[in-house]
Amino acid sequence: MVAVQERGSRGPINLVEFFNWTTFDVLGDLAFGEPFGSLKDRKTSDWIAIILDSIKFNAWDVAIWKLPIVPRFQYWLTPPKVREGGVRHAIESKDKMLKRAARQTDRKDFVSYILAKKDELKITDWELAAHANALIVAGSETSATVLSGLHYYLLNTPHAYAKLKEEIRGRFKSVEEVDARSTTNLPYLTACIDEAFRIYPPIPIGMPRVTPKGGCVIAGQYVPGGTTVGVHMWSVTHNPRHFSDPQSFRPERWIDPECHDNLDASKPFLLGPRMCMGVK
């Protein structure tokens, strides 16, 4: 808040940068016991910049491998900066995890639970790096993305913005009163968040799953075993069969008892044993 007010007093600001600084710093503290320092320095840390480049690398990687023959030319087709970002991120993730493993602390964080099982599960250093990657990217960039989408649609939907402002300002007298517990009883805020996840899901791809050996039936169609399948969430949540007027930002659909939309079709945190643990 202070950072936004400080920069905003000088003119227009890029809110997406502030969202990334905040979410990455929070996840850095939760995962490794220390933030990245972006909010303090008022700039994107070097590693966050690398992570954002690596995400672009993943997008190129997924797209290229869906085409015939093209993967053979992946190295030359991927922009150098994007390609280097993926490699640098893997190396930085490993270094970050090893530095955390070497630091003795009584404070529990995400990594402390992984390290406690390292020997028992024979987890290698590169596997630790993969865990670091998952912890940071899954909980930070996705949060910053959906926050940017939420603010975009609120600013372009005046009645929703006004209603949300009325709910929040009617409940709290000061910023100090706002915390995770006190905001759980704000139905319109929750509806706005649910609608932001529906209209602007932060995961751009259908998360891959592999069908069982004997095959299975999906949506009435038999799919052979060993087939990689996935659900493209944006397509599902913008299908008029599930949501009326799907292109419109309508938080009311989540709290209106007369709404007949299939709200259960929006699953931004996925389903099953591999669903995102951030759902809680």
pLDDT 10s digits, 117-173: 888 888 888 887 777 777 777 778 889 999 999 999 999 999 999 999 999 999 999
Whether 197 has a pLDDT exceeding 80, the answer reads yes
Q: Is 231 left (phi over 0), alpha (psi -120 to 50) or beta?
A: beta
Q: Which pLDDT score is estimated for 1?
A: 57
255: left (phi over 0), alpha (psi -120 to 50) or beta: alpha
Percent of the chain past pLDDT 70, that is, above it, reads: 96
* Residue 96 CB contacts under 8 Å (≥ 6 apart), including other chains: 32, 47, 132
Cβ atoms of residues 259 and 221 within 8 Å: no
Neighbours of 81 (CB within 10 A): 10
Q: What one-character DSSP code corresponds to residue 141?
A: I
**pLDDT at 26 > cutoff 80:** yes
Dihedral angle sign, alpha carbons of residues 176, 179, 185, 187: positive
The whole-model pTM stands at: 0.83
- Type and span of the H or E element at 143: helix 142-155
